[in-house]
C-alpha cells in the first residue's frame, strides 16, 4: 500500500519557467512533509519541509504548499534552472516528524535550456 | 563536519551469498535508518536504529537484518541473496529531536550499489 504517491514519473520544464511537482498521501497521521532531491550516484539531499500546522513554506526559489483536506502537497520551483534537473522525492512522517519517513516513488524533473 | 559514509560503494555478489554493508553516521547523530531504492519503487524503508535498539522495521523478509554499535555506526546484512535484492542501499542519520524539528531531517549517504548475479 503506497501511502505517499507521486503520480508523475517525469516532468519537463523550460528554463526560467515554474516547475510544479505534486504529491498525494493517504495516511491522515502524517504531520510532517519533506522534499528531497537526488542526482545520479548520490544520496538524496534535503530540500524543504513543512509541518501540518502550516500551509506554505518558502526557501528561496522553492515553495512547498500543503492542502491537508485534500491530502496533497506540491513543490514549486521558480525560476527553474538547469541544475534543478534531478529526481525529486516527497516524504512524510507522523508523530510530529519523529517517526520513520515514508517516501514516494519520485518524479524526474528535466529542465530544458 | 563529515557526512554519512557508506562502504562499500559498489559490490557484486551471486545468488545465495550474503552481504554486509556499513554506515557511519554524522558525528552526534544517534539515529540511523536504512532504505532500499529500486527503479519504480522509490525508497523503501528497511529499519531504523536508535541507541543500539531497533525502533522501527519495514516490510522486508527476515533475510534483511541490521544492528547498531555503541558509537552509532550501523551495519545491515542480507543473507541468501536473491536477484531481486539488486538495489541501491541507502543509509541516513538524524539527531531526532523535538516537535517538527530540523533535527528530524534525514541526511543520506551516497549509498551502496549491490548487484546480485
How confident is the model over B46-86, as pLDDT tens digits? 999 998 999 889 999 999 999 999 999 999 999 999 999 99
Is the CB of B111 less than 8 angstroms away from the CB of A43? yes
Contacts of A5 (CB under 8 A, 6+ apart): A23, A24, A25, A26, A104, A105
CB neighbours (10 Å) of residue B6?
A: 23
> Distances in Å between the alpha carbon of A5 and those of A26, A91, A93, B12?
8, 9, 14, 31
Is the CB of B45 less than 8 angstroms away from the CB of A100? yes
Contacts of A54 in chain B (CB under 8 A): none
Determine which of B106, B109, B111 to mutate to test the interface with A (most A C-beta atoms within 10 Å). Answer: B106
A43 touches chain B (CB under 8 A): yes
Contact B48, B30 (CB under 8 A): no
Residues A91 and A2: their CA atoms lie apart, in Å, by: 12
A109/chain B closest Cα distance in angstroms: 15
Query: How does pLDDT run along chain A (113 residues), one tens digit per residue?
Result: 789 999 999 999 999 999 999 999 999 999 999 999 999 888 999 999 999 999 999 999 999 999 999 999 999 999 999 999 999 999 999 887 778 899 999 999 999 99
B105/chain A closest Cα distance in angstroms: 7
* Mean pLDDT of the residues in chain A: 94
Residues A38 and A24: their CA atoms lie apart, in Å, by: 19
pLDDT tens string B84-99: 999 999 999 988 756 6
Q: Which residue has the cell 534525514?
A: B106
Q: Show the 3-state SS of B20-66.
A: EEEEECCCCCCEEEEEEEECCCEEEEEEEEECCEEEEECCCCCCEEE
pLDDT tens string A43-73: 999 999 999 999 999 999 999 999 999 999 9
Is the CB of B42 less than 8 angstroms away from the CB of A100? no
Is the CB of B90 less than 8 angstroms away from the CB of A43? yes
Chains A and B form CB pairs within 8 A to the count of 60
C-alpha cell at B80: 541468501
* Mean pLDDT of the residues in chain B: 92
Contact B43, B90 (CB under 8 A): yes
A107 touches chain B (CB under 8 A): no
C-alpha cell at A112: 530544458
Is the CB of A100 less than 8 angstroms away from the CB of B100? no
Amino acid at each position: 500500500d503506497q501511502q505517499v504517491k507521486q503520480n508523475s514519473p517525469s516532468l519537463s520544464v523550460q528554463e526560467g519557467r515554474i516547475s510544479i511537482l505534486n504529491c498525494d498521501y493517504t495516511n491522515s497521521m502524517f504531520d510532517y512533509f519533506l522534499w528531497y532531491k537526488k542526482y545520479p550516484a548520490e544520496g538524496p539531499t534535503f530540500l524543504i519541509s513543512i509541518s501540518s500546522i502550516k500551509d506554505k513554506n518558502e526557501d528561496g526559489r522553492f515553495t512547498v504548499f500543503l492542502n491537508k483536506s485534500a491530502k496533497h502537497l506540491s513543490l514549486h520551483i521558480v525560476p527553474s534552472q538547469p541544475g534543478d534537473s534531478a529526481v525529486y522525492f516527497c516524504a512524510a512522517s507522523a508523530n510530529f516528524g519523529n517517526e520513520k519517513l515514508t517516501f514516494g516513488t519520485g518524479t524526474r524533473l528535466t529542465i530544458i535550456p | 563536519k563529515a557526512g554519512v559514509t557508506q562502504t562499500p560503494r559498489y559490490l557484486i555478489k551471486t545468488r545465495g551469498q550474503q552481504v554486509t554493508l556499513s554506515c557511519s553516521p554524522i558525528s552526534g547523530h544517534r539515529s540511523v535508518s536504512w532504505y532500499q531504492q529500486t527503479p519504480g519503487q522509490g525508497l523503501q524503508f528497511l529499519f531504523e536504529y536508535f541507541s543500539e535498539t531497533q525502533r522501527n522495521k519495514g516490510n522486508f523478509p527476515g533475510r534483511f537484518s541490521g544492528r547498531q554499535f555503541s558509537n552509532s555506526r550501523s551495519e545491515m546484512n542480507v543473507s541468501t541473496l536473491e536477484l531481486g535484492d539488486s538495489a541501491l542501499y541507502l543509509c541516513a542519520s538524524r539527531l531526532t529531536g523535538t516537535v517538527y524539528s530540523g533535527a528530524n531531517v534525514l541526511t543520506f549517504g551516497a549509498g551502496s550499489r549491490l548487484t546480485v548475479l
